[in-house]
Chains A and B, each alone.
Chain A
Amino acid sequence: SQQGEEDPQALSIQEGENATMNCSYKTSINNLQWYRQNSGRGLVHLILIRSNEREKHSGRLRVTLDTSKKSSSLLITASRAADTASYFCATAVIQGAQKLVFGQGTRLTINP
């Protein structure tokens, strides 16, 4: 079963605008990771934020984590056509098998 839910399921914006995607999860976590998947390809790691961190930046990406609300957000600033992809959050849970649990993803479309 999926650990998290992503919101929105689909997002379409104009090139140059900012895109925000949200992720909620259910159990206590060690960290939360964001991945990008282009159509028909594998997943590419974007950023990892640990449970004791609240915000992290990488280039045009900004990730926040609120463990009290069990939620995270991914902000992509100044979007480009090449950002068109599906974006997934994944949590590494504290107990149980060492694995990543993925949400269902947000399909982002950047219109030129």
Chain B
Amino acid sequence: DAGVTQSPTHLIKTRGQHVTLRCSPISGHKSVSWYQQVLGQGPQFIFQYYEKEERGRGNFPDRFSARQFPNYSSELNVNALLLGDSALYLCASSPAGTGYGNQPQHFGDGTRLSIL
């Protein structure tokens, strides 16, 4: 079975641009979460979506938004990119939305975003 897939794998943007990152969860998984991992740090929670609704949001500015589609795939959008947005963006899926923290999260290999 395919794992969590993310696209693109690498992306280079300039300051002020907009970016869309995509994630397909494991088949049957209805919860998708997004994390930002700056080099040398642990991942930081951005969003969780379940059944197309936002169920959790981390301490990120409104420039960050996301959505989940009927097939449970998800997009993360970042507007007005800043140099500090350079990071590995990870998507994780799990079967259900409730009891989120009690389930192992299955991560994709991420999108490496570089801002010039």
Complex CA–CA separation, A101 to B35 (angstroms): 10
Name which residue of chain A comes closest to B54, CB basis.
A97
Complex CA–CA separation, A104 to B45 (angstroms): 13
Query: What residues on A are CB-neighbors of B109 within 8 Å?
Result: 40-42
Minimal beta-carbon separation of A10 from chain B (angstroms): 11
Minimal beta-carbon separation of B87 from chain A (angstroms): 13
Complex CA–CA separation, A2 to B109 (angstroms): 21
CB pair B107 A44 closer than 8 Å: yes
Known contacts: A2-B41, A92-B102, A97-B48. The answer to whether A42 contacts B90 by CB under 8 A is yes
Q: Mark B55-83, 1 if CB is under 8 A from A, else 0.
A: 11111000000000000000000000000
CB pair B41 A99 closer than 8 Å: no
CB pair A99 B102 closer than 8 Å: no
Chain A CB within 8 A of B108 CB: yes
Q: Which 6 A-B pairs have the closest CB atoms?
A: A92-B101, A97-B56, A102-B42, A42-B107, A98-B100, A45-B104
